[in-house]
A and B are shown apart, each in its own frame.
Chain A
Amino acid sequence: MRHFNFVLSPLDQFEIRDLFSINANLLGNIHLSLTNIGLYLSIGLFLALSYSLLATNNNKIIPNSWSISQESIYATVHSIVINQLNPTKGQLYFPFIYALFIFILVNNLIGLVPYSFASTSHFILTFSMSFTIVLGATFLGFQKHGLKFFSLFVPSGCPLALLPLLVLIEFISYLSRNVSLGLRLAANILSGHMLLSILSGFTYNIMTSGILFFFIGLVPLAFIIAFSGLELAIAFIQAQVFIVLACSYIKDGLDLH
């Protein structure tokens, strides 16, 4: 029996590949390409929209199972917006928060399909979203409150002597929101996929070593199934955490402290 032993890095699954591209002298020789991340993001968009189309249920009052699932997502996101943002002024941001939740959730779930691609494990994608949200919240704060926005960096009731230090700490924590919001999502998805990839390679090698090892390999296989369930939960939890924090950052811009 021939064995093909080749070592694949667990990071190989995240490699971005050019599927097809236009290399013509067009628009200032711009490199237009459809990559695998672009393809999977487009598939995610298609799935999100077709799920919404299925959940319309021909505008019937009595819901079917698709519309019950979407109404429960609606209720979850709505309660987050009401609680974290503002019960009246926060409604304005609901479509954005809902779209963000669906976008992250669909892309997290697509990543869980074997041999597919986890778009949300890419730091640039998550950072671009988190930096845009925090920058937008900062603009919102300046638009609403003008220079009073800087009172966000002054904790209430702090002694005057400690003020410079506390303002510096608050400013650094405000800047670190940008990084922490994006990093949390990408790092969670990345680590989960790497863990599953390493465990499955390990299990495959054990189970193909002999008949006795096949049965021993059932133990790590059970772990893989358990971790897959955990990853499914993480896909939902991380989407929720992202929008909860986005709401609280927008709230800081809206209401200050």
Chain B
Amino acid sequence: MPQLVPFFFVNQVVFAFVVLTVLIYALSKYILPRFVRLFISRIYINKL
């Protein structure tokens, strides 16, 4: 079973954590705040 070959374990884990960290940073810094701003502006348009 290729999943149990330990030679590339460190490689997999390093890649997974680097990709996940970049994704969390980009989402929380740039993408998700944009959603909040968008939803707030929609609420203002509806209320005004």
Contact = CB atoms under 8 A, between A and B. Distances in A.
A55 to B, nearest CB: 8
Contact of B2 (A11, A42, A129): A11
Given A16-B5, A38-B11, A45-B19, A74 B35 contact: yes
Contacts of B19: 41-42, 44-45, 103
Q: Is the interface of B mostly helix, strand, loop or mixed?
A: helix
Contacts of B26: 49, 52
Interface stretch (A93-101, A147-155, A160-168, A221-229): A93-101
A94 B32 contact: yes
Interface string A21-56: 000000000000101011001101100110010001
Interface string B1-27: 111110011011101110110111011
Interface size of B as a range: 20 to 34
B31 to A, nearest CB: 5
A209 interface: no
Given A14-B2, A14-B3, A74-B35, A124 B12 contact: yes
Contacts of A128: 12-13, 16-17
Interface of B: 1-5, 8-9, 11-13, 15-17, 19-20, 22-24, 26-28, 31-32, 34-35, 38, 41-42, 45
Interface of A: 11-12, 14-16, 18, 33, 35, 37-38, 41-42, 44-45, 48-49, 52, 56, 59, 61, 71, 74, 94-96, 98-100, 102-103, 119, 121-125, 128-129, 186, 190
24 contacts: A14-B1, A16-B2, A35-B11, A37-B11, A37-B12, A38-B15, A41-B16, A44-B19, A45-B19, A52-B26, A59-B34, A61-B38, A61-B42, A94-B32, A95-B24, A95-B28, A96-B24, A96-B28, A99-B23, A119-B16, A122-B3, A123-B4, A128-B16, A186-B3
